[in-house]
């Protein structure tokens, strides 16, 4: 089955790319953009059929490699 993961910077961690995107959007007259936070998206195909078991495995992957928990949070969708 496929498991989707989103990794984002924790609240309060500086995101220079997000900031640059926000400023660019503001400059393109999207003046209502207040903040942009950039993240990463992973589409992971595992040969585990049971959804719960697959998500437990993916959670382990998030902790060990996909996210650096010093600055990032992960969400398994």
Partner 1 sequence: MKSSVIIFPGSNCDRDMDVALKKFGFKNQMIWHNNPTIPKSDLIVLPGGFSYGDYLRCGSIAAKSKIIKSVIEFANSGGLVLGICNGFQILTETGLLPGILQQNIYQKFICKNVHVKVNDKENKYFSSIKKEILELHIAHNEGNYFCSNDELKSLKDNSQIAVTYCDKNGKESEEFNPNGALSNIAGIFNKNKNILGMMPHPERVIDKSLSSNDGNFFFENLIKNLK
**CA–CA gap between residue 61 and residue 77 (Å, rounded):** 14
DSSP string, 3-52: EEEEEEEPTTS--HHHHHHHHHHHHTT-TT------EEEEEEE-S---HH
Q: Does 24 bind partner 1 (CB under 8 A)?
A: no
Closer residue to partner 1, CB minimum distance, 17 or 56: 17
Closer residue to partner 1, CB minimum distance, 56 or 71: 71
Closer residue to partner 1, CB minimum distance, 50 or 71: 71
Footprint of partner 1 (CB under 8 A) = 13-14, 16-17, 20, 65-66, 68, 70-71
């Amino acid at each position: 089955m496929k498991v989707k993961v989103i990794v984002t910077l924790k609240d309060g961690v500086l995101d220079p790319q997000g900031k640059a995107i926000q400023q660019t959007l503001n400059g393109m007259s999207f003046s209502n953009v207040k903040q942009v936070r950039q993240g990463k998206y992973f589409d992971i195909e595992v040969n585990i059929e049971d959804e719960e078991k697959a998500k437990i495995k993916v959670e382990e992957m998030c902790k060990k490699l996909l996210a650096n928990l010093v600055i990032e949070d992960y969400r398994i969708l």
